[in-house]
Amino acid sequence: MARGKQIYEGKAKILYEGPEPGTLIQHFKDDATAFNNQKHAVLEGKGVLNNRISEFIMSGLERVGIPTHFIRRINMREQLIRHVEIIPLEVVVRNVAAGSLAKRLGLNEGDALPRSVVEFYYKDDKLGDPMVSEDHITAFNWGSAQEIDDMMAYALRVNDYLSGLFAGAGIRLIDFKLEFGRQYEGDLVRLILADEISPDSCRLWDADTGDSMDKDRFRKDMGGVVEGYREVARRLGILRNENERGDAKGPVLVSSNDENKA
Ligand code: UDP
């Protein structure tokens, strides 16, 4: 597939011009960063897993009527997406106290919240992505009141979908981060889900043991980061276990579509 020039490089992904107007190619790198870039590592295989996990989740969300930027996966590390104007906000949904919320409010990690909570953070690395209120968002014109309503409604629907999906895989969804973008279609503007949904952007705990299966393994130097991501993919049915066929190499990615041709 024709890949145009690079238009953006972030911490874990690169965006290239896509083959048609209004499309981009999203490339998943193996790089991992945390604490506002102070910690960096290359985790072999992470990009491949995140590409597959994000494809699986975004496709599932489309099927239940939540619009996303995902069009189709192209190969092991790349997917074709719709070009959107990214809203400069991180939308975090929390079900259980963890991370910065537990610290800020003095809550015990692992305690269920009275109800799911949605928070907004302004995307700015120099400022360390500060938490902002809905009033900040409209005052500084990062988004309209209607867009805030839409983002909150979509975020809670995504939470319901993901909570069920992961519960069925023996995984507790603690919290996660979403990003949204504006898609322009003539005079119309449509809000759609963008970026990725993967263990890089979710807290996922094993339902039985409470073990982290997400980027906290990297943040906290716990080791086994890629193994945790691979186990998430395996439980979601994205990986098949080669051992079951008498091959001792362990789980491998299920090949499908045209990834071998790319
Ligand atoms: N998160 C993210 N990107 C960020 C900040 C947070 O994907 O830049 C995710 C994080 O993985 C977690 C959720 O958002 O699932 C809530 O993160 P929190 O505010 O607790 O921040 P953290 O303690 O992870 O820095």
| Residue 258 pLDDT > 50 | no
Q: Does one domain contain both 89 and 196?
A: yes
Q: Is there a domain that residue 167 lies in?
A: yes
Instruction: List alpha helices for 140-180, DSSP H.
Output: 145-167
3-state secondary structure of 65: coil
Could you tell me the residue range of the domain that residue 14 belongs to? 6-84+225-242
* Ligand 1 atom showing the smallest separation from residue 102 Cα: 20
Looking at the structure, tell me whether residues 56 and 161 fall in a common domain: no
Distance 211 CA to ligand 1 centre (A): 17
pLDDT at 246: 39
Q: Is residue 94 in some structural domain?
A: yes
Question: Are 114 and 16 part of one and the same domain?
Answer: no
Do residues 72 and 139 share a domain?
A: no
User: 158 lies in a domain?
Assistant: yes
**Residues 30 and 60 occupy one common structural domain:** yes
Ligand 1 mean position to 96 CA, how many Å? 13
Cβ–ligand 1 contact at 179 (below 6 Å)? no
My answer on whether 101 and 73 are in the same domain is no
pLDDT reading at 261 higher than 80: no
**Residue 39, C-beta contacts closer than 8 angstroms, at least 6 positions apart:** 33, 218, 219
C-beta separation of 203 from 174 below 8 A = yes
What local confidence, expressed as pLDDT, does residue 240 receive?
A: 72
Pair (127, 195) in one structural domain: yes
Q: Residue 194 sits in a domain of what CATH number?
A: 3.30.470.20
pLDDT at residue number 74: 98
Q: What is the pLDDT of residues 106-146, one digit of tens each?
A: 999 999 999 999 999 999 999 999 999 999 999 999 999 99
Q: Are residues 160 and 178 in the same domain?
A: yes
User: Do both 95 and 55 map to the same domain?
Assistant: no
Q: What is the CATH number of the domain that holds 48?
A: 3.30.200.20
pTM of the shown model: 0.92
pLDDT in tens, 6-31: 999 999 999 999 999 999 999 999 99
Of all residues in the chain, the percent with pLDDT exceeding 90 is 88
Average pLDDT, the chain: 93
Please check whether residue 214 lies inside any domain of the structure.
Answer: no
Distance of CA 162 to the CA centre of its chain: 11
Span of 92-101, 133-142, 251-260 with lowest mean pLDDT: 251-260
Q: How far apart are CA 125 and CA 105, in angstroms?
A: 23
Adjacent-strand bridge partners of 94: 117, 175
Beta strands in the chain, from DSSP E residues, in sequence order: 6-9, 13-17, 23-28, 31-34, 39-42, 70-73, 78-82, 85-86, 89-96, 112-122, 131-132, 171-185, 188-194, 202-206, 239-241, 251-253
176 Cα–ligand 1 center, Å: 7
99 C-beta closer than 6 A to ligand 1: yes
Query: Distance between CA 90 and CA 83 in Å, rounded?
Result: 18
Residue 183 lies in a domain: yes
Distance, in Å, from the CA atom of 196 to the CA atom of 68, rounded to the nearest integer, reads 10
CA 177 to ligand 1 centroid distance, Å: 6
Residue of 36, 50, 100, 217 to test ligand 1 pocket, by largest number of atoms within 8 Å of CB: 100
Count of domains in the chain? 2
pLDDT of amino acid 2: 67
The residues with which 172 forms a beta bridge, in sequence order, are: 205
Tell me, what's the pLDDT at 249? Answer: 52
User: Quick check: is 69 in a domain?
Assistant: yes
Tens digits of per-residue pLDDT, 150-194?
Answer: 999 999 999 999 999 999 999 999 999 999 999 998 899 999 999
Q: What confidence score (pLDDT) does residue 241 get?
A: 57
Task: Give residue 175 CA to ligand 1 midpoint distance, Å.
Answer: 8
- Residue 248 included in any domain: no
| Per-residue confidence (pLDDT) for residue 244, from 0 to 100 | 41
Task: Establish if 198 belongs to a structural domain.
Answer: yes
Which atom of ligand 1 is closest in space to residue 35's alpha carbon? 25
In terms of domains, do 73 and 25 share one?
yes
Q: List, for residues 221-255, the tens digit of each pLDDT value.
A: 999 999 999 999 999 999 875 444 434 455 566 65
Determine the distance separating the centroid of ligand 1 and the alpha carbon of 183, expressed in angstroms: 25
Quick one: average pLDDT of 196-217?
98
Do 166 and 68 share a domain, yes or no? no
Q: Are residues 229 and 140 in the same domain?
A: no
